[in-house]
Amino acid sequence: MSTPANLARIYVLFSIIFLLPLGLTGQQTQVRPTVGLVLSGGAAKGMAHVGVLKVLEEAGIEPDIITGTSMGSVIGGLYAIGYRADTMETLLLQQDWEQVLSDRIELENVILEEKDYFENQLFEIGYNNGQFIPPSGLIYGQQVDNLLSRLAIPAYKTKDFRDFPIPFRCVAADIVEGQPVVLDSGDLAGAMRASMAIPTAFTPVERDGQILIDGGLIRNFPVEEAKAWGADIIIGVYTGYVKADADKLNNFSQILMQSGFLMSVKDAQEQMPMVDLYIEPDLKKYGAQDFSKADSIIAKGEQAARAMLPELQALKMWLDTLGAHQPAHRMKVPETLCFEQILVRGNERYTAEEIIGRSGLESGESYPPQAIETAINRLVGTNKFEKVTFQLQQEAGETALVLQCLERAPTVFKTAINYDNYSSAGFRFNMTSRNALLPASRLMINSVVAENYRFQLNYLKYLDEAQAVAWVTDVQLTRDKIPIFQNGTQNEEYSLIEAVIDLHVQKRLSTNTALSMGLQQENLIFRPKVGAGLLFNRLSYTNYNLYARLEHNSLNRNIFPTKGTRLSLELKGLRNGGYEVSGLNPEVGLNRDSLFSFRPYTKLSFRAERFLPLSSRGSLKSSAFAGLVTNPSNTFGDFFLVGAPEALTRRSIPFYGLNTNHLVAQAAVGAGIGYQHFFRRNMFYSLDANAGFFDEPDRAGEDRIDLQQFILGLGLTGGINTIIGPVKMPLMYPFAGNVNTSQELRLFLSIGHRF
């Protein structure tokens, strides 16, 4: 039986022998046939189409019609509006596919008050109207939609795909009716997205009352659709699934894959006899998920097409004898876009004015296309939406920007697990409810069930239309342990329970920067757990604080950031409202006021870290810290807890070389430097060094600062991002200094997400 490739050779040879002489003898009865290009699906393997297009351009063949499915619809749609093969090759090679094939946006686009709670859960589920709402797919397609919408901007004025420079059709599947659906009008980006909505990977697309999924499940090779539009000659490129032989069906994944694509493969086999020139790249070594191998997949497509180059050149010669072909014009990407109105669709709980205001876009203004995508990310960064997409429409001669919103459930529950050397195993829970009690508000409850527990109730109410100013009520309850070391040996340990009520006004100066001013009431309870000759059985303080805080966070992600800066600067004034002590040791020989009372004082805290990319895999890390408590004679009034590579308490100063809370300091200044390198996409190592000068509180000392304690610490960290969250294992060593600590290797293990 002849293969499609052999049929193509026979057809072209027949054309040259019998039809070319007719053209040369001056007969004008021949009409130039319409050439259709059919591009199949295949996910990452569909990138081979770009290699085929490169050879078609070299041979001088430009199709008159293009049809495509799934990845073939993306390549075909963009080619139809004017993107050339070399341009698409550059686009494919430059994409961060891990981000494109996710709903993840850069953390720098998330508003500051949401950053700490963004993408840090093991499991998440929505709740609305008494029902839990599971996700309808693994990926909503936020970044894919962003990319397709931006690339399809040149065609926003053209709604009939027949009017593209090259007429175009793509195919999706109606999941209700089980039939192929031809998409050849409307929004190009939406059509391409529907055609590639792989079930369980991407959420379905609702379009014109139909629920659409990837067309590759039913019609992965849309030859009929090209014929229906008048294609006389079909060049077909197949990159889809190929049935495995019986001896290969020896595992669950292969059987499942074959079962899912049986209908698609059968349909493709029925389409193939209608193809005149068939090209099938050798992609057996590649999987549907191998987007990171774009260069070699494109090369495979080019190799397969180049093997057909004699037939393509012969076809070109024959076509030229039948009439000149007018090259298609290219739709150009506009440098700026101006829209007379902004429309919002899909919103239920948030007003159009609120959404438009948060986007930062204004009607009548001009924006580069990238600025619109940034605005979309800004909306997603509010944590109120599962997805926001955009399209440009022509309404009565005016351009309208349409923001299509898919709101998150009004209440969202998140859970995670965590383990570290300090708190041991813990279960973490978060509940976030929008517009609870009052409009334009957020109610959040965070809790950590662990040895060192955490509880937070936070209520934020925006006060202005732009939602840049907010009133925040924050209540926290925490437990920590504070070891006291002498000569490198722990001889005391206290438990500290803190209850804090915080009322403040926050002004967001930009997406990444905010200024806060507020009042706090602190209740501190100390209880000794370990030690001989205990000073007391229980000590409690009530403090009243006035503070101002400046925060900035432009890190690109919460988990293993590679670029950006995070800093916090806080100035606080404290006034003691009283203390209570029980079980005071009579052998101390000092009255309790001299030990525990204190006059009003100030506290200054500063922490900063920066990641500077040196390459696609490596970043230079730098950090700095400073702290000052102007009440050095009172050990229990206020202090910093130095140690461990992560901030584990509200008083922490992270420091390589010391265990968690190893050093209690009332003054500190220091810096660190390091290098972080990803040797796999989700695996890294880092080398770190930090040094600092510290002053410990003196229970009976004078009110003066003396930064005489010095330590230099080193760290070597390995990390991997897993299904349960990030895992980090820093090995630390206190290299030099005069702090009371033994020079020995220390390990800090951290597993899972943090709230």
- Give me the residues paired with residue 322 across strands: none
Phi, psi of 224 (to 5 degrees): -55, -40
Kindly indicate the confidence band of residue 531, based on its pLDDT and cuts at 50, 70 and 90: low
Q: How many CB atoms lie within 10 A of CB 728?
A: 20
Is 495 labeled as catalytic in the residue annotation?
no
DSSP 199: T
* Catalytic residue chosen out of the listed positions 15, 70, 423, 433: 70
Q: H or E stretch including 330?
A: none
Mean pLDDT confidence for 627-652: 83
| Span 132-182, pLDDT tens digits | 987 655 678 888 998 999 999 999 989 999 999 999 999 999 999 889 999
pLDDT of residue 27: 43
pLDDT of residue 148: 93
Rounded (10°) CA dihedral 74, 78, 83, 89: -10
DSSP 372: H
pLDDT of residue 695: 87
| Span 57-115, pLDDT tens digits | 999 999 999 999 999 999 999 999 999 999 999 999 999 888 888 877 888 889 999 99
- State how far the Cα of 547 lies from the Cα of 575, in Å rounded to an integer: 12
Q: Do the strands 210-214 and 233-237 form a parallel or antiparallel pair, or are they unpaired?
A: unpaired
Has residue 631 got a pLDDT over 80? no
Higher pLDDT, 153 or 398: 153
Contact 726, 646 (CB under 8 A): no
| Span 512-525, pLDDT tens digits | 999 999 999 999 99
Topology classification of domain 337-407? Ubiquitin-like (UB roll) (3.10.20)
3-class state of residue 6 by DSSP: helix
The least confident of 112-121, 294-303, 487-496, 598-607 is 487-496
Closest CA to 750 of 466, 422, 496: 422
Has residue 470 got a pLDDT over 80? yes
Q: At which residue do the structure tokens 């662990």 appear?
A: 450
- State how far the Cα of 181 lies from the Cα of 219, in Å rounded to an integer: 9
Contact 543, 574 (CB under 8 A): yes
3-class SS letters over 433-449: EECCCCCCEEEEEEEEE
Order across the sheet with 663-665: list the strands: 652-653, 640-642, 663-665
Mean pLDDT confidence for 358-379: 90
- State how far the Cα of 630 lies from the Cα of 635, in Å rounded to an integer: 12
pLDDT of residue 486: 58
| Span 234-278, pLDDT tens digits | 999 999 877 666 666 666 566 666 666 677 788 888 999 999 999
- Give me the residues paired with residue 409 across strands: none
Contact 481, 529 (CB under 8 A): yes
- Give me the residues paired with residue 414 across strands: 124, 430
Has residue 16 got a pLDDT over 50? no
Sign of the Cα torsion 691, 668, 594, 528 reads negative
- State how far the Cα of 612 lies from the Cα of 224, in Å rounded to an integer: 53
pLDDT of residue 17: 42
Mean pLDDT confidence for 572-581: 88
- State how far the Cα of 550 lies from the Cα of 552, in Å rounded to an integer: 7
Q: Domain spans of the chain?
A: 35-103+155-322, 337-407, 411-752
Has residue 8 got a pLDDT over 60? no
Is 264 labeled as catalytic in the residue annotation?
no
Mean pLDDT confidence for 467-482: 94
| Span 306-349, pLDDT tens digits | 999 999 999 999 998 888 788 888 888 888 989 999 999 999 98
Higher pLDDT, 700 or 38: 38
Mean pLDDT confidence for 620-637: 82
- Give me the residues paired with residue 508 across strands: 514
pTM: 0.82
- What is the percentage of the chain residues whose pLDDT exceeds 70? 89
pLDDT of residue 19: 46
- State how far the Cα of 653 lies from the Cα of 568, in Å rounded to an integer: 12
pLDDT of residue 702: 55
pLDDT of residue 699: 47
Type of residue found at 137: G
Q: Rounded mean pLDDT of the chain?
A: 87
pLDDT of residue 662: 86
pLDDT of residue 705: 74
Q: How far apart are the first and last CA of the chain?
A: 64
Residue 653's Cβ-count burial label (10 Å; 0-12, 13-18, 19+) is: buried
Mean pLDDT confidence for 653-666: 90
3-class state of residue 483 by DSSP: strand
Kindly indicate the confidence band of residue 491, based on its pLDDT and cuts at 50, 70 and 90: low
Mean pLDDT confidence for 385-399: 86
Q: Do the strands 341-345 and 398-407 form a parallel or antiparallel pair, or are they unpaired?
A: parallel
Query: Domain 35-103+155-322: what homologous superfamily?
Result: Cytosolic phospholipase A2 catalytic domain (3.40.1090.10)
CA 639 to each of CA 57, 634, 636, 646, 742: distance values in angstroms, whole numbers, following the listed order = 71, 9, 7, 17, 23
Contact 150, 370 (CB under 8 A): yes
- State how far the Cα of 328 lies from the Cα of 154, in Å rounded to an integer: 14
DSSP code per residue over 616-627: SSEEEEEEEEEE
Has residue 537 got a pLDDT over 70? yes
pLDDT of residue 489: 60
Mean pLDDT confidence for 16-43: 68
Greatest Cα-to-Cα distance within the chain, rounded to the nearest angstrom: 123
Has residue 18 got a pLDDT over 60? no
Q: At which residue do the structure tokens 């004015």 appear?
A: 353
pLDDT of residue 260: 64
- State how far the Cα of 257 lies from the Cα of 673, in Å rounded to an integer: 49
pLDDT of residue 207: 87
Residue 412's Cβ-count burial label (10 Å; 0-12, 13-18, 19+) is: buried
Q: Which residues 6+ apart lie within 8 Å of 90 measured at CB?
A: none
Mean pLDDT confidence for 219-237: 95
- What is the percentage of the chain residues whose pLDDT exceeds 90? 56
Closest CA to 463 of 444, 443, 445, 439: 439
* Catalytic residue chosen out of the listed positions 64, 214, 480, 695: 214
Contact 571, 602 (CB under 8 A): yes
Architecture category of domain 411-752 in CATH: Beta Barrel (2.40)
Rounded (10°) CA dihedral 408, 410, 411, 415: 10
Q: Which two tokens stand for residue 437?
A: 């009690």
| Span 170-221, pLDDT tens digits | 999 999 988 999 999 999 999 999 999 888 778 888 888 899 999 888 999 9
Q: At which residue do the structure tokens 């006034």 appear?
A: 575
